[in-house]
Structure 1
């Protein structure tokens, strides 16, 4: 992934550099991010979301290689100051195009907390559709209580 760089309309996705970790660690601890994300042990498997040369968040993907179930999953977080401006949507769309067009996936998934309505709206703009609620799916990083997740997926021809 070292030479990978993906371009959205406004953001660039590139491998996380060593000096990005401190910035991402600060972002993931902002209250509007920490409500949905726990700080990861390592940012090495993520892509930095960059706007005008500034790291504003991170995006990651995981691929299921089994041919019978082949698909990829995506997750993203952005700094509070950059939320609600279509930048997360741009980042998701850029990664989705690459996963479908270059990696050959026919289906992508994303699984926000069911209460994260802003994220759900953003993902729907890319073409993700709700599949179902996964009850007590993830441990809330702030309250320590189990929260429901919303499974959403997108088929290749639904990407908008």
Structure 2
């Protein structure tokens, strides 16, 4: 079971069954569906990688409002060890620094606790707001 990760403004908690309805609602908003695809109905979660470790992003603490979802996947082969991050947030909270905080908190966890030396996040090239948030969290463009 993944552990709780605390950022400056958000708390990342393992997705609970009671979170799914709100996460599905956020996932199907036009802004999020445009990036993540429109089919958010597949059980049990409205996410695209069943092997990912998935967290609910809550504003503040454990009982704060749900802002979205963040997940990571790992490659654990010692020769290729790395992790990748994906996130979506409710458009109602965009522009408040919550995505940057969530990504920074998870990246810090992946480096300090999980021992990764390389992390990737792959926003669409035209998603300038996401790219700015990821840069603010310490990511830089490559390739």
2:92 match: 81
Gaps of 5+ in 2: none
- Spell out structure 1 runs of 4+ moving beyond 3 A: none
Report the TM-score when normalising by structure 1. 0.78
2:101 maps to which residue? Answer: 90
Gap regions ≥5 residues in structure 1: 133-160
Higher strand share: 1
Aligned to 2:133: 122
By relative contact order (CA 8 Å, sep 6+), the higher-ranking structure is 2
Q: Does 1:64 align with 2:75?
A: yes
Aligned with 2:56 (options 48, 51, 61): 48
Measure how far apart 1:126 and its partner are. 1.1
Change (3 A) 1:74 1:8: same
Q: Give the CA deviation at 1:68.
A: 0.8
- Secondary structure of the 2:95 match is coil
Secondary structure at the residue paired with 1:104?
coil
Q: State the number of aligned residues.
A: 131
Greater CA drift, 45-54 or 86-95: 45-54
Secondary structure in 1 aligned to 2:31? helix
1:106 & 1:80 partners in 2: Cα distance? 31
Partner residue in 2 for 1:21:
20
Larger Rg: 1
1:32 Cα deviation after fit = 1.4
